[in-house]
């Protein structure tokens, strides 16, 4: 019999990396190879607890492992944060449309991330880095609440040194050890080294940050069709059936989760 | 389509035959002391019918339902709470083999709604296996409405109170029996097996059926005149432009957040995949959900785009009259009026749509 569409695949927690006091990266080993395109999301299932949608933060080229960077925020994530190596979870998917990498070719790619919103963007960065010749340059502006809230602390210094990459981190509130920029991420979006006629902007972060970054990018002259937003919704089924993630005439799970601002701009403030 | 005549005294032979292969559901009258009177001159019935599994013991109480039953048609295809699959592939597979169902008593509003349910559960990238199996194996025995409830408003959206498609059998009461329309190959096999009691319908019987149908339409149209419900072609327009209308907040003053409107709705389809923790293992459940529930759109961080009740009411209308018209070309409302009947706060979809229309097109001078 054909596999039931609601049935998850078993995956074992192989490694847990504490990124910040509230964020952990879980490396999962699925029972069978699992493919996804960058920006697509999966449903993570904890048997007996429930399901929640996440976008993988790992390299889509890797099929036998999957990494999820998750903040302890709700019921499922809280239970997940209390789990240990070797325990079994379920994954379903991948669902939705990811980042249209083809459309980014030969362009200046501006990536603006906020907090744990860097997770799906890390998967995008892996995809871009592995084909870096195809893109003009990659500019990353990452905002975090404080230095201790920065995720991927080990990787960021390596990414900063990469060719064709311009990576800047800003924190809302600094501390004595912090030598970098202090201020909301919107404050590091001025004088960007991008050619606006040949650039795309990709934004992922908390809703309030996405809103103001989008306004800022429009202000800078980005075209609505060149701004890509990852929409956070409470997707349940992932298949365009359960009705939870409606955004105007779209479902975030099947028409998104990555939308262009062009698609969303006519909608009221809360995107409903 | 083949048309036959079935006498009243033979209806149980028809039931018994179907019951051999199917779990047959038939209409019974709901015994209640609650009476809802129509307050503007029409003398309309207020009894309700419900559908119950056919049993010889109920024989005396099985009736013909003059209008739609109390429960939405989708109860037969997606259950309120059910195990949807084995948790993991190597767990014991939940048996999908159910006895097929046959439902007698669905009306044209229900058949219209099943189009919406089919679009959701059979359409998209992959069909829902549980729904698909039930729906494909089911036998739909629809019937004409002989009357209507105060809340019925199908005709406002050009849906007739008699079915013309989407059924296996359709029964139209006439004189001492029923004119039976046989639409599907499944139904043809049954009709052939019952040829002793199925006699070809006469032209006289067919015109008798037409006259009855027209009479119901005439009376329903007269009843609906008072409500001034906007035409279906304009629904999307008024719901979108009425985004900031005061009607949403005003009408939600009496809402008690029971979500009866979404759970009784014939076209609502939202659900939640949930886990049930049991001692030995967990179960994967699918539960009916609805956008009138407070946490419907809440995300883990706590943000909730529909945090106020009026937003949730508006969301329901945007889904029905904007989302579905955009994606499927028809409104997700069949005019069955179940949401009107169930609402303890007397929130009335007919009134809200009329208000949205009047605010846009007939603003006070």
CATH of the domain at A132: 3.40.50.80
Which helix (H) or strand (E) covers residue B244, if one does?
none
CB-CB contact of A221 with A190 (8 Å) = no
Among A34, A267, A272, the strongest candidate for a mutation testing the B interface, having the largest count of B CBs within 10 A, is A272
pLDDT in tens, A71-124: 999 889 999 999 999 999 999 989 999 999 999 999 999 999 999 999 999 999
To the nearest whole Å, the CA of A1 is away from the closest chain B CA by 10
Helix (H, G, I), strand (E, B) or coil at B139: strand
Dihedral over alpha carbons A81, B274, B124, B99 (to 10 degrees): 150
Instruction: Give me chain B's average pLDDT, please.
Output: 91
Query: B-chain residues within 8 Å CB-CB of A1?
Result: 93, 96
A67 and A124 fall within a common domain? no
Residue B320 DSSP class:
I
A85 and A132 housed in the same domain? no
Interface of A with B in 200-259 (CB under 8 A): 206-207, 232-234, 236-237, 239-244, 246, 248-249, 254
Flag whether A248 is in a domain.
no
Q: How many domains does one find in chain A? A: 2
DSSP state of A97: B
Q: With contacts defined as CB-CB under 8 Å, which chain A residues touch B293?
A: none
Q: What is the mean pLDDT of residues B47-58?
A: 90
Which residues in chain A have Cβ-Cβ distances shorter than 8 Å to B129? Answer: 2, 4-5
Measured between alpha carbons, how far is B8 from B275 in angstroms, rounded to an integer? 48
Contact A232/B128, CB-based, under 8 Å? no
Give the integer Cα–Cα distance in Å for A200 and B64.
64
Residue recorded with tokens 């209640």: B32
Assign A1 a pLDDT band (cuts: 50, 70, 90): very low
State whether residue A97 sits within 8 Å of chain B by CB. no
pLDDT tens digits along A155-189 = 999 999 988 999 999 999 989 988 889 999 988 98
Range of the domain at A126: 101-230
* Residue A167 and residue A72 in one domain: no
Per-state percent for chain B, helix, strand, coil, to nearest 5:
40, 15, 45
Residue where one domain finishes, among candidates A35, A69, A95: A95
> How high is the pLDDT of residue A150?
92
Q: Do A139 and A112 have their domain in common?
A: yes
* Lowest-pLDDT range of A47-56, B42-51, B114-123, B335-344: B42-51
Give me the pLDDT at residue A171, please: 93
Distance (Å, whole) CA B66 – CA B212: 12
**Is residue A114 located within the same domain as residue A226?**
yes
Q: A119-152 in b/e burial notation, b at 16+ Cβ within 10 A? A: bbbbbbbbbbbeeeeebbbbbbbbbbeebebbbb
**In contact, A269 and B345? CB cutoff 8 Å:** no
Q: Do A49 and B277 touch (CB under 8 A)?
A: yes
Q: What is the mean pLDDT of residues A1-5?
A: 67
The helix, strand and coil proportions of chain A, stated in percent and rounded to the nearest 5, come to 25, 30, 40
* Mean pLDDT computed over B232-244: 93
Per the structure block, which two tokens stand in for B215? 């009479």
Residue A249 domain-assigned? no
CATH number of the domain where residue A50 is located: 2.40.30.10
Q: Is any Cβ of chain B less than 8 angstroms from the Cβ of A89?
A: no
Same-domain pairing of A78 and A187: no
> Does A109 share its domain with A206?
yes
- Give ipTM to 2 decimals: 0.88
Same domain, A213 and A176: yes
Question: Tokens 């609650």 identify what position?
Answer: B34
Residues of A with CB below 8 A from B93's CB?
A: 1
Judge contact between A130 and A164, C-beta under 8 A. Answer: no
Q: Does A51 touch chain B (CB under 8 A)?
A: yes
Annotated domain spans of chain B: 2-226, 233-361
C-beta atoms surrounding B52 within 10 Å:
16
Smallest Cβ–Cβ distance between B297 and the set A1, A3, A234 belongs to A234
Beta carbons of B51 and B105 less than 8 angstroms apart: yes
Residue B335 near residue B231 (C-beta atoms within 8 A): no
- Assess if residue A50 is contained within a domain: yes
């Amino acid at each position: 019999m054909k596999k039931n569409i609601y049935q998850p695949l078993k995956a074992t927690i192989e490694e847990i990396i504490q990124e910040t006091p509230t964020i952990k990266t879980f490396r999962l080993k699925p029972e069978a190879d699992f493919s996804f395109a960058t920006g697509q999301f999966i449903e993570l299932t904890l048997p007996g607890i429930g399901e929640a949608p996440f976008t993988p933060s790992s390299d889509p080229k890797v099929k036998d492992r999957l990494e999820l960077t998750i903040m302890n925020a709700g019921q499922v994530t809280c239970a997940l944060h209390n789990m240990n190596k070797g325990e079994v979870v379920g994954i379903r998917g991948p669902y939705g449309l990811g980042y249209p990498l083809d459309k980014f070719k030969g362009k200046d790619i501006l990536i603006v991330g906020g907090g744990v919103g860097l997770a799906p963007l890390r998967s995008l960065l892996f995809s871009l880095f592995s084909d870096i010749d195809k893109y003009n340059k990659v500019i990353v502006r990452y905002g975090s609440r404080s230095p201790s809230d920065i995720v991927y602390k080990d990787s960021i210094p390596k990414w900063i040194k990469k060719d064709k990459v311009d990576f800047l981190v800003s924190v809302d509130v600094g501390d004595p050890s912090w030598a970098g920029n202090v201020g909301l991420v919107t404050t590091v979006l001025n004088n960007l080294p991008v050619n606006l006629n040949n650039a795309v902007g990709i934004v992922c972060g908390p809703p309030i940050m996405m809103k103001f970054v989008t306004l800022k990018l429009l202000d800078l002259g980005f075209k609505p069709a060149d701004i890509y937003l990852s929409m956070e919704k409470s997707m349940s089924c992932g298949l365009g059936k359960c009705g939870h993630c409606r955004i105007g005439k779209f479902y975030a799970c099947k028409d998104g989760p990555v939308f262009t601002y062009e698609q969303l701009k006519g909608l009221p403030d809360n995107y409903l | 389509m083949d048309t036959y005549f079935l006498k009243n005294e033979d209806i149980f032979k028809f039931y018994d035959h179907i019951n051999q292969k199917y779990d047959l559901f038939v209409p019974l009258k709901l015994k209640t002391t609650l009476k809802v009177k129509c307050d503007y001159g029409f003398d309309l019935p207020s009894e309700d019918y419900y559908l119950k599994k056919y049993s010889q013991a109920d024989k005396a109480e099985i009736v013909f339902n003059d209008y739609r039953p109390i429960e939405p048609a989708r109860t037969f295809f997606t259950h309120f709470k059910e195990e949807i699959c084995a948790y993991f592939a190597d767990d014991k597979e939940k048996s999908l083999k159910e006895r097929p169902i046959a439902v007698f008593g669905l009306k044209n509003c229900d058949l219209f709604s099943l189009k919406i349910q089919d679009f959701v559960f059979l359409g998209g990238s992959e069909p829902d296996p549980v729904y698909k199996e039930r729906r494909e194996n089911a036998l739909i025995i629809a019937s004409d409405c002989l009357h209507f409830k105060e809340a019925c408003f199908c005709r406002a959206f050009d849906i007739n109170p008699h079915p013309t498609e989407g059924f296996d059998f359709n029964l139209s009461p006439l004189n001492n029996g029923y004119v039976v329309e046989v639409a599907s190959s499944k139904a043809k096999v049954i009709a052939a097996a019952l040829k002793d009691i199925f006699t070809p319908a006469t032209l006289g019987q067919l015109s008798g059926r037409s006259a009855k149908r027209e009479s119901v339409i005439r009376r329903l149209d007269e009843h609906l005149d008072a409500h001034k419900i906007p035409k279906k072609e304009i629904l999307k327009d008024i719901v979108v432009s009425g985004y900031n209308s005061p009607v949403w907040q005003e009408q939600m003053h009496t809402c008690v957040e029971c979500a009866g409107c979404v759970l009784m709705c014939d076209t609502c389809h939202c659900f939640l995949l949930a886990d049930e923790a049991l001692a030995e293992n967990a179960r994967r459940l699918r539960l009916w959900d609805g956008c009138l529930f407070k946490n419907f759109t809440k995300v883990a961080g706590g943000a909730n785009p529909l945090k106020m009740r009026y937003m949730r009411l508006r969301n329901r209308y945007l889904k029905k009259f904007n989302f579905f018209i955009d994606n499927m070309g028809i409104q997700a409302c069949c005019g069955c009026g179940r949401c009107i009947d169930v609402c303890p706060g007397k929130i009335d979809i007919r009134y809200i749509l009329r208000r949205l229309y009047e605010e846009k097109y007939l603003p006070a001078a």
